[in-house]
Structure 1
């Protein structure tokens, strides 16, 4: 199974390392020419392959969006058709927009199955995952299963949050954002929201 990680800043290389350690093949893309990030990738995620976004996504079974939110509009929506896409992005500063980032991603990337997760964990707290609970939200059962399996394999304890709109509960301003929560804390919070 191949993972495409879009983003070579803080989060992308950490997720690439976790995926490589779990036995996944990993392509990683930044903005622009892959040659610009080859040294970063070789140093921070040895074994991952620096690629263009189109090349990384084309062969991927799972795509992780770990780019700054303001760069998202530059992505070509057609590239993601038929893909399972993890949205690990956040609005910065936190947005008062009525939709969460994942709902906006799903509207733009028509034909992709979007799952919100990993955005609420600081990159420095991702490694080692050590069974840390992470919430995930999405609308497609097959995509949710694929993402849950991926999260488990890279060392997290995935907690289902519900439909994609519930991904807003993982964004800045939520009590779950940036907190090393355990499964029971996620589940208690979800009960309080219902």
Structure 2
């Protein structure tokens, strides 16, 4: 799948940073925020000149790939039919200050991305861009081969989709550690050793390979065995 047009739902810090990276990588970028498009048009023009401010429907309709960069508690505000047939990157995390009580947002029996995939059942969800802070995403994107290049974790249930997103991540300035199980996104959620980490491919791979030996990993694996 050739990606030329990128759509971002969410004009917060992460959405703005990803829009800037995508523009720099040569993509056509559309971005939406909450409320009327006029409310964010000036912000978009100022912070990411070249990106197109639009309503959700226009963003999705005119994009080859869509990034969810909104608070996790708000993804159900989006009609699931809007993303039907779309390749979607889930860059969201639960964050209590924004999302409120966890049990009101997430079913404790599955990971957040599994729940996002279940809600957008006719879309293909891939988890990426969620474990690195927006400052690091903005400041540490580098071309392939740069010895200081950092890596991002990419995972989903559809291998072809994961490979497409991994290539997209590469063009955005990061190496990739790739898995083919969306449930593995738990390794990058808040509370994990990877959350907030800005690591090289070697270091990210090492931590993921030893995930089940960490306290967080042992808790996760114990929950899975129940």
Give the shorter-chain TM-score range.
Answer: over 0.9
- Indicate whether 1:176 and 2:197 are aligned: no
* Local SS of the residue matching 1:37: helix
Q: Please state whether the residue corresponding to 1:179 is helix, strand or coil.
A: coil
Say yes or no: does 1:126 pair with 2:133. no
Matches within 5 A, 1:5-154: 5-93=8-96, 95=102, 97-128=108-139, 129-130=141-142, 131-154=149-172
Question: Are the counterparts in 1 of residues 87 and 161 from structure 2 also a CA contact under 8 Å?
Answer: yes
Q: CA-atom RMSD, angstroms? A: 1.5
Distance 1:51 1:5 in 2: 10
Which residue in 1 is equivalent to 2:206? Answer: 188
Q: What secondary structure sits across from 1:90 in the alignment? A: coil
TM-fit CA distance, 1:162: 3.4
Distance 1:8 1:100 in 2: 24
TM-score by length of 2: 0.82
The alignment partner of 2:195 has SS state of coil
| C-alpha displacement of 1:186 | 2.1
Which segment drifts farther, 23-32 or 85-94? 85-94
- CA deviation digits over 1:103-136, x for unaligned, max 9? 1110000111101111111111111312211001
1:143 & 1:95 partners in 2: Cα distance? 29
| Contact 1:87 1:102 (8 Å CA) reproduced | yes
User: Tell me, what secondary structure is at the counterpart of 1:177?
Assistant: coil
Please tell me whether the aligned partners of residues 161 and 190 of structure 1 are also in contact (alpha carbons under 8 angstroms). Answer: no
Q: Under a length normalisation based on structure 1, what TM-score does the superposition of the two structures give?
A: 0.95
- Which whole-Å deviations, capped at 9, do the CAs of 1:9-51 have from their partners, x for residues lacking one? 1100110010001000000001121111001100111101001
Partner Cα separation in structure 1 for residue 47 and residue 111 of structure 2: 30
Partners of 2:167 and 2:196 lie apart in 1 by 22
* SS in structure 2 of the partner of residue 32 of structure 1: coil
Contact 2:187 2:211 in 1 (8 A): no
Partner residue in 2 for 1:159: 177
User: Where does the alignment leave 5 or more consecutive residues of structure 1 unmatched?
Assistant: none
Deviations 1:111-164 (A, max 9, x none): 111011111111111113122110011011221121111101110111113310
Higher alpha-carbon Rg: 2
* SS of aligned partner of 2:7: strand
